[in-house]
A and B are shown apart, each in its own frame.
Chain A
Amino acid sequence: MRHHIILRIAAQLLIPPILLFALYVQFHGDFGPGGGFQAGVIFAAGLVLYGLVYGVAEIHRVAPTHVAMKMMAIGLLIYIGVGFAGLGLGGKYLDYNVLLHDPMAGQHLGIFLVELGVGITVASTMLVIYQCFSEHQSRDLADDEW
């Protein structure tokens, strides 16, 4: 990747804002447009860009598939866990009102956690899909072949 300096620099400049924007979409989701699903996709897009520029081996080092697959399950568990927490605190399933003393704050916390779970699952799912497909590439091109 030494030869593709423009790509490298552009990626270096782009990836942090992309990830940051993903987090913004994630956490601002309950006030404005956005939410876990969109944020997850944006976050995964940042990682995929990283993989495209620096190679498949590199992305596997940064975010190994087995970790990503665990994250998929963990995100889902966060979501379901919030629902169960509502049950445990005496409400219905996915009842956020009972999560905190103030129902309003409870709603905020509930939707925040649920969206976080969605975000984690979506991001890791997108990443795993990318990794699965990219693994089928026969070999990486050497620099001088570009």
Chain B
Amino acid sequence: MMLAHLPVLEVLVPLAAAPLCALLRRPLLAWGVVMASTTFALGGSLVLLFQVLSNGVISYHIGDWAPPWGIEFRLDAANSFVLVLVSLVGTMCAIYGRKSVEREISPEAQPLFCTLLLLCFAGMLGVTSTGDAFNLFVFLEISSLSTYVLVAMGASRDKRALTAAFTYLLVGTIGATFYVIGLGLVYALTGTLNMADMALRITDIGDSSTLRVGFAFIIIGFGLKLAIFPLHQWLPNAYTYAPSMVSAFLAGTATKVAVYASLRFLYTVFSPNLHFDAQVLQTLFLPLGLAAIFVASGVAIFQSNIKRLLAYSSVAQVGYILVGVSFANITGLTATFLHLFNHAIMKSGLLLAVGCVVYRTGSCSISTFRGLGHRMPWTMAAFVIGGLSMIGIPATVGFISKWYLVLGALERGWWPVAFAMVAGSLLALIYFGRIVEAAYLQPSPEGNKVTEAPLSMLAPLWVLTISCLALGINSEFTVSSARAAANALFFDPHPGLSMQVGP
């Protein structure tokens, strides 16, 4: 019985746990609830992924109202893969969070923090699972609104978190509004909100200016959410001033979910057969992605705040993902999904490592890192491995991503793009080299008594680090899942409503 309802329980358990946290007064209990529900989500998402991979699409009708009238949770290989990613990062951050947040947020506010974290988590899972375009908006707002507050809660460490959160709120709201406007136009045209149904009707109706405008609004709306290159201005500040654990969580999930959602629209709702859709991929995503790789990486080199540096690096990595999308072939799409997953693992790992440093030193500027290689050996070793992965050294997940990105470019015959991508990863070499040199080659300041971070923070950090290595040495799981995800979007975007099988 549980299995049949798993698609909805996956989202609902964290969603129900959120108000429960608000009722609890003891932080420890609240954290227990957070860990339990995220772990449940992780287990559930893995079960769902294997179910989808072996049995095909799962469709769950909320309230037993058949789509297109009722809300449908629709899991195919693409979104169940993203579910695994979100819940994995969420679980690791939840385990990590208790100690880290203890240092940064007052005990009274902690249950509230847990509530928001779970809301955000549930919202992202909801965005990923739902097959209803308006329901997607609702979940998007649940996750976004709670994210704004989570970022603002960094204010107890640094007041600038407030302005960062406010900027994020403005930009994020504009993004969401654009999405709704676009959706409204498409709804006016098709009269349905179910994505699969919408897709069928769009194919029937064909190209029109209303459709184009709706499409443009939707893509720009998501573009703001996923920090597509010139629309990324909110991201560095938000990541920098948010509590450490929130930065790690958001870096691994928020932009990834937005990328997934835009892929869902680009491939499922609209289809690359439509002229303008394919054009956006080539004339918009490719140049913007490449620009992101070089500009953001270039900016990252000059940052002295490590969290900000990693934030810019995230913008650059979104660039890689966009370039992967722009190939519009199956390898490119596989690379996109691979990089979604791999980047989430490595960037969250890196930010968790920075969080350990913040926990011990209270700062994350590069000067704090001096000599930490000897004082916090485990933390810095994880950081180095994450850095190597970002550069794309073999035996790390970063290499696997890069391999498929280059392969996708070659299949398209885009030589310069292939070279640009590998050249971009060398910029990562520069900015990680700086940190590594500081950590290992410069003496720590006089009287520095920093010690290694506590085990409950190191454990999740190393789980991510080891999976970064293990999935780099044996990429069977990620590559086959990513390929299935790409196939689901590319070849079989909407198998048709008639083929739906309820659980």
Contact = CB atoms under 8 A, between A and B. Distances in A.
A97 interface: yes
B284 interface: no
Nearest to B15: A80
A69 B22 contact: yes
B137 interface: no
Interface stretch (A12-20, A23-31, A88-96, A134-142): A88-96
B19 A72 contact: yes
A91 B115 CA distance: 28
Contact of A86 (B20, B22, B63): B63
Contacts of B22: 69-70, 72-73
Contacts of A70: 22-23
Given A80-B12, A93-B8, A93-B12, A74 B63 contact: no
A77 interface: yes
B86 to A, nearest CB: 20
A74 B61 CA distance: 26
Chain A CB count within 10 A is highest, among B5, B8, B19, B62, for B19
Contacts of B16: 77, 80-81, 84
Contact of A95 (B15, B23, B63): B63
Contacts of B20: 73, 77
Contact of A92 (B23, B63, B115): B63
Interface string B324-363: 0000000000000000000000000000000000000000
Contacts of B60: 92-93
A94 B23 contact: no
- Most interface-central of A81, A83, A92, A95 (chain B CB within 10 A): A92
A81 B19 CA distance: 11
A84 B115 CA distance: 19
A76 interface: yes
Contacts of B19: 72-74, 76-77, 80
A101 to B, nearest CB: 17
A6 to B, nearest CB: 40
A92 B64 contact: yes
B23 A74 contact: yes
B25 to A, nearest CB: 10
A73 B19 CA distance: 5
A52 B115 CA distance: 31
A63 interface: no
A53 interface: no
A49 interface: no
A93 B63 contact: yes
A74 B23 CA distance: 8
Given A70-B23, A74-B23, A92 B61 contact: yes
Contact of B62 (A72, A80, A93): A93
A136 B207 CA distance: 54
A97 to B, nearest CB: 7
Contacts of B63: 86, 92-96
Nearest to A69: B22
Contacts of A86: 63
Interface in A41-91: 69-70, 72-74, 76-77, 80-81, 83-84, 86-87, 91
Instruction: Give the residue among A80, A84, A93 with the most B Cβ atoms within 10 A.
Output: A93
A92 B503 CA distance: 10
B168 to A, nearest CB: 20
13 contacts: A70-B22, A73-B19, A74-B23, A77-B19, A80-B12, A84-B16, A87-B5, A92-B5, A92-B60, A92-B61, A92-B63, A93-B8, A95-B64
Given A93-B63, A95-B63, 9 more contacts: A73-B19, A74-B23, A76-B19, A81-B16, A84-B16, A92-B62, A93-B8, A94-B63, A97-B64
* Shortest beta-carbon contacts, A-B, top 10: A73-B19, A94-B63, A73-B22, A92-B64, A76-B19, A93-B8, A80-B16, A95-B64, A77-B19, A73-B23
